[in-house]
Amino acid sequence: MIEIRNVHKTFTRKGIAIEALKGISLKVEKGDIFGVIGYSGAGKSTLIRLVNYLERPTEGQVLVDGHDLGAYSVKELRAAKKNIGMIFQHFNLLESKKVFDNVAIPLVLLKKSKEEIRKRVTELLEFVGLSDKAGSYPNELSGGQKQRVGIARALASNPSILLCDEATSALDPQTTRSILQLLKRVNAEYNITVMIITHEMSVIQEICNKVAVMEEGRIIEQGSVLDVFGHPQHLTTQNFVKTVIQNTITPSVQKTIKTGTGSRICKLNFVGATTTEPLLYEMIRANEVKVNILFANTTEIQEKTLGTVIIQLDGEGAEMNKAVSFLKSNGVDVEEVDPHVLDYSNR
């Protein structure tokens, strides 16, 4: 659906070249809700603007539906853009036009008939739940309502892709949720592929099925949201995951841990199917080890459960090794942790 192939983007400001993207490759499949997360300055805004060619790559290719956008003529590119809707952090609605006319704009540009426009706009306003606001001006609306207008406008020309540029970053948490639910419906009911950039991990957790983590113009990690949340490899990713999932022992519990020889502390990550099996029980039955649970937490992502359990194991060295390999062989991600260096700073 969307394929970005080894894209570099360099901006030149006052003679100084700044490389915003340093070799990005990613693939968004049809029906995905693909999230790109990163701190500000990571290059994610530039990345999403490549997909509708608001920014042209300095090097590399951007393919939409198998067509290289760079190979299009100006006219073909304009036509291709009608197939890609976009919503913005600050909504970018026309303050001088009523809600109805804002939503109608893409259809006016397509020179649709008045009757067709009226029908489509009415339908879209109903979809986003703003039928009663058709005659209002944007400055009479709340932030969430403005973004709903933005979504309706982006959908007017019946696109197959929707790009969301920090679409919820200017909204409060409750409004954010309702907008995310709306985007989920856009994806499900209209079968529109959604690409979202954000700096909030909760956005990714709530609606994305795939995620790419960006840092300094590069993608440092990407995959299914469940995998990335379950096994974050990179420090930045781990820090992002920590913002939505608690996975470390609380300080008061940490103080009570007595360690010595014959005691190991392990962090177990259960992803998906492994959460439904009584694995800890079976491990204890099969091996001569004592288990003390120091921390446990489950989170739901993509209708699957992600569990984190931190246990203290006591027993013979060989028995403990057997216990750990039993868990590993059953698909549990086991990570040895030193309780004295557990990191709380980024929580």
Identity of the amino acid at 281 = Y
Q: Which is nearer to another protein, 81 or 267 (CB)?
A: 81
Place of tokens 């699957």: 304
Report the nearest approach of another protein to the CB of residue 87 (Å). Answer: 9
Report the nearest approach of another protein to the CB of residue 220 (Å). Answer: 28
- Options 74-82, 214-222, 234-242, 329-337: segment touching another protein (CB under 8 A): 74-82
Give the whole-angstrom CA distance, residue 71 versus residue 211.
28
How many chain residues touch another protein (CB under 8 A)? 28
Q: For residue 33, give the H/E element and its range.
A: strand 33-38
- Options 19-27, 137-145, 200-208, 289-297: segment touching another protein (CB under 8 A): 137-145
Contacts of another protein in 76-135 (CB under 8 A):
77-82, 84-86, 88, 90, 92, 94-98, 105-106, 108-109
Q: Which is nearer to another protein, 79 or 286 (CB)?
A: 79
Q: Which is nearer to another protein, 71 or 109 (CB)?
A: 109
3-state secondary structure 42-80: CCHHHHHHHHCCCCCCCEEEEEECCEEHHHCCHHHHHHH
CA distances from 329 to 8, 311, 332 (A): 41, 18, 7
Report the nearest approach of another protein to the CB of residue 78 (Å). Answer: 4
Q: Which is nearer to another protein, 51 or 249 (CB)?
A: 51
Site string for another protein, 23-62 (x = CB under 8 A): -----------------------------x-x--------
Give the whole-angstrom CA distance, residue 161 versus residue 307.
33
Give the whole-angstrom CA distance, residue 161 versus residue 64.
9
Q: Who's near 314: CB < 8 A, 6+ residues apart?
A: 262, 263, 289, 290, 291, 292
**In 3D, which of 220, 249, 202, 236 has the Cα closest to residue 343?**
249
Interface residue list for another protein (CB under 8 A): 52, 54, 77-82, 84-86, 88, 90, 92, 94-98, 105-106, 108-109, 137, 139-140, 157, 163
